[in-house]
Amino acid sequence: MSSNTDRHQTAAARYFEAWNATEPEALAKAVAEAWAPEGSYTDPLADVTGHAQITAVIAAAHEQFPGFVFRPLGAVDGHHDTARFGWELVNEADGSAPVAGFDVVTLSEGGRILRVLGFLDRVPAGA
């Protein structure tokens, strides 16, 4: 495994750690570790920049889907400063996954996220 692949996998692991943090302090810390200060997150429902706004988007997802966790789908694929990976939002109680998508992530030289472009492949009606 190349160090470049390790870099992509490490960034994805930090990303999922942030999305799965539910306590405010843990969430803020995980976002700061995963994203560069000027980092951004864009999907069909959000377009935000900076740690505070990214933290707010993640907290809102947990409010909308309490008891759910983000889980990677498949391997992380990457080259240069770009990685992509699939994910699903899984109900810990029954294992259902009503939301799924994939993200394309641009990394800084230090391996922190500069930009996320998220795509939603499966969303429940009314969400």
User: Edge-to-edge, what's the strand order for the sheet holding 46-49?
Assistant: 46-49, 35-43, 113-122, 99-107, 82-91, 68-79
Q: According to the model, what pLDDT value does residue 124 have? A: 84
pLDDT tens-digit profile, the chain (127 residues): 455 689 999 999 999 999 999 999 999 999 999 999 999 999 999 999 999 999 999 999 999 999 999 999 999 999 999 999 999 999 999 999 999 999 999 999 999 999 999 999 999 876 6
Whether the predicted model's global pTM rises above the 0.85 cut: yes
